[in-house]
Structure 1
């Protein structure tokens, strides 16, 4: 599906219905399987990734296709390793390019029987599951927090629990904290001291859980609010006490004139004049790398010189997001320079008009983040716009509600 997107007035007003958090939903589905007593999950995400994980867990398949769902693949790798039975876990062609070796090595240290069916360190993998003892292991924390969360989720079900040493600069720490907070809510005690997380063997306790709306999805509407001529948007369901680290967007976008008011049933975004405008934007996104794509358009439109740090993990997402952003922003006259593996730079430069279609690289975040470029142009074209179904199936409907003109081509 290819879309032509424009906004006639560049004035944004209305209510936005955000999806439930995919990250929270997927963690809860694994916990639900590990808990010996059933419990209910309310407001479960309708994202493709969550539906896929739910379907897989509800059926007994020998060959499991995780498609392009990275979290699903990683969580299932750990879950199947400690669950009796034999599984072949595979995925899409892009998934077969995403490394899994760090997690497999850690699970093997715990006694897991996992072998590669193709290239060493990459899917597909064959898992011969068994009850794992647990113990003390180390893992490189700089690559993906999902490896760490996968191990933490199964830790209480291991015979002697788990003591996990995190090596290096840990990426996406708030997502690890989210995992631990959800586990704690469902009865699990843990100790995080220094670079070691210790979880004793113990049972999960059943509790009805309501999944929060997704702050990651909210970030795109912060970007819209910042780029609009005028904006007053209500994002339903969000709250200040969220366990999601991506709530940091509320503080970061304030630098671009987006004022947040907390309401009983959500938050209100209003664009205001910035009294002390930024002269440069330098920020470390190591704890919330998915936010990088939400900030690129507003930084580019502002003409600010900028350095984005903490982008290393973006290279092993649904696509190499650093490379994809370089290609797509160049269409608008914006050059993104790679300073090193973990940092990118934007020089002070002006946006240009572009009628070149935006490619999405089968990446939901590329589609949603670059949709905001419609507020800097007469219109934009986005190809394969249906990729948003991965995390936010009603994304385009929400844009229509706040005044965007969405035309299928």
Structure 2
């Protein structure tokens, strides 16, 4: 049985045509998100024949942005709700391709998900009180998950705990994104799972018959999602599970996020050792997921980085609402990097405000970004407007993301006039002379949402920037250009 879940990216391109972004019908939640946009809002011209959006010069970013829900939290909440006993209302769910892939996968698995007719960002999931079994035990159920790593990896682990045969596949780029470390960990626990090709990448085949538990030692060097996926699936085993990191753990804040969310669903994870070293994790056999009744998805901290950086670059004042000093997401630390560069940062429990004194120039920094690899992409563009070079370290994971981000960032920064030194897991960006970026540069986005959103900020240099395939932002933030224009002058 084959269930193919198609991308809706193309249909969202129409929302980016001139003026359409500000006249298209909106859900009540969307209206609330855009309520702070001023009447001076910019529109960016879309050329549909070339599939290119021209972001016109941005003199300043000023205003308040209510962030869409976090991608990482949205898909984790949906999966844990599906595995829990009881029903869970999930609110402020991100509206994006990645979340649609997870929702439609749950539909294919016949996990009841009720959409709220009045709010596209809220759903109610009826949990299975344990593992998810295949609705078609006589045949393999194929789930097409696009390029959504936050759906592919957790589902690959969770489906090993039930019964049935599954094939998990995605777009060509997903077939280049490693998953072998996760499969290795699952096999150590007794799972019958494998990569179809010899590359260690999807498609993944699973022949599930439940798991007893046990011990697994995995690498944490390539992605923290492998550990998070194993942790979320562990309470579905009939016995204790011990997971050890055998080398180092990158993006540790994302693992802490996972553990914190599991606790909200009633499961405790014992952590032994230092999260910055080689920790071990224990999930007892008596731990079971129980619905919290309702859960609100925190605003996406990675998405906050674009607006915070824009304020720092232009000297405007931007407040992002939805994440702040109480955030569970590690990417809020990006605001600290803006402060190191010379911006002024004000924290509140659920918001962050960034501005910059016009008399204070941004300065280059040398930062270990291993804990904030997604937000670190935004730093690459902020570096174009700083005095002196900026070194972005410990971002080997860039090479394993939606595209080969290291090479992509080097290429596009170079087009804009920077000189970039590329190394295995870091790069050094030397800004253009006098911080003047090149005019009318066509930014190749490589079907990577973060490339489009990050490099749109080059328009803060007072030039037109042309974004090729702007619709790729549908992966996590389909209204990004609308919201950027809403606070731009």
Aligned to 1:211: 297
1:244 lines up with 2:326 in the alignment = no
CA distance, structure 2, for counterparts of residue 216 and residue 285 of structure 1 = 13
Aligned to 1:45: 94
Aligned to 2:207: 128
- In the TM superposition, 1:152-191 aligns within 5 A as 152-191=231-270
Structure-2 change in CA distance of 1:264 and 1:141 (3 Å): closer
- Give yes or no for contact 2:180–2:195 (8 Å, CA) kept in 1: no
- Give yes or no for contact 1:256–1:274 (8 Å, CA) kept in 2: no
- Give yes or no for contact 1:134–1:158 (8 Å, CA) kept in 2: yes
CA distance, structure 1, for counterparts of residue 411 and residue 271 of structure 2 = 41
1:342 lines up with 2:432 in the alignment = no
Q: 1:269 aligns with which of 338, 349, 354?
A: 354
Q: 1:358 aligns with which of 436, 443, 450?
A: 443
1:325 lines up with 2:409 in the alignment = yes
Q: 1:22 aligns with which of 61, 71, 91?
A: 71
**Quick check: 150-159 or 52-61, which moved more?**
52-61
Structure number with higher relative contact order (C-alpha < 8 Å, ≥ 6 residues apart): 1
CA distance, structure 1, for counterparts of residue 306 and residue 414 of structure 2 = 20
The answer for unaligned runs of 5 or more in structure 1 is 405-409
Aligned to 2:398: 314
Structure-2 change in CA distance of 1:176 and 1:262 (3 Å): same
Q: 2:375 aligns with which of 291, 295, 320?
A: 291
Structure-2 change in CA distance of 1:342 and 1:265 (3 Å): closer
CA deviation after TM superposition for structure 1 residue 336, in Å: 1.8
CA distance, structure 2, for counterparts of residue 129 and residue 253 of structure 1 = 47
- Give yes or no for contact 2:243–2:281 (8 Å, CA) kept in 1: yes
Instruction: Encode CA deviations 1:93-113: one digit per residue, 9 max, x unaligned.
Output: 111111111111110111111
- Give yes or no for contact 1:257–1:273 (8 Å, CA) kept in 2: no
CA distance, structure 2, for counterparts of residue 112 and residue 209 of structure 1 = 31
Helix, strand or coil: the match of 1:234?
strand
Aligned to 1:375: 460
- Give yes or no for contact 2:164–2:207 (8 Å, CA) kept in 1: yes
Equivalenced residue count is 400
CA distance, structure 2, for counterparts of residue 277 and residue 375 of structure 1 = 13
The ranges of structure 1 where at least 4 consecutive aligned residues each deviate by more than 6 angstroms after the TM superposition are: 274-277
CA deviation after TM superposition for structure 1 residue 28, in Å: 0.9
- In the TM superposition, 1:71-220 aligns within 5 A as 71-194=150-273, 195-201=279-285, 202-207=287-292, 208-220=294-306
CA deviation after TM superposition for structure 1 residue 276, in Å: 9.2
**Quick check: 163-172 or 301-310, which moved more?**
301-310
Helix, strand or coil: the match of 2:87?
coil
CA deviation after TM superposition for structure 1 residue 47, in Å: 1.8
Q: Taking structure 1 as the reference length, what is the TM-score of the superposition?
A: 0.93
1:395 lines up with 2:474 in the alignment = no
CA distance, structure 2, for counterparts of residue 52 and residue 66 of structure 1 = 5
Helix, strand or coil: the match of 1:241?
coil
CA deviation after TM superposition for structure 1 residue 263, in Å: 5.0
CA deviation after TM superposition for structure 1 residue 158, in Å: 1.0
**Quick check: 133-142 or 36-45, which moved more?**
36-45
- Give yes or no for contact 1:47–1:389 (8 Å, CA) kept in 2: yes
The answer for unaligned runs of 5 or more in structure 2 is 1-50, 110-134, 136-140, 274-278
CA distance, structure 2, for counterparts of residue 283 and residue 197 of structure 1 = 29
**Quick check: 88-97 or 57-66, which moved more?**
57-66
CA deviation after TM superposition for structure 1 residue 377, in Å: 3.6
Q: 1:3 aligns with which of 38, 53, 64?
A: 53
- Give yes or no for contact 1:106–1:137 (8 Å, CA) kept in 2: yes
CA distance, structure 1, for counterparts of residue 431 and residue 355 of structure 2 = 26
- Give yes or no for contact 1:142–1:167 (8 Å, CA) kept in 2: no
Instruction: Encode CA deviations 1:206-257: one digit per residue, 9 max, x unaligned.
Output: 11211111111000111101111x3122222323101001110121111233
- In the TM superposition, 1:52-63 aligns within 5 A as 52-60=101-109, 62-63=141-142
- Give yes or no for contact 2:185–2:217 (8 Å, CA) kept in 1: yes
Q: CA RMSD of the aligned region, Å? A: 1.8
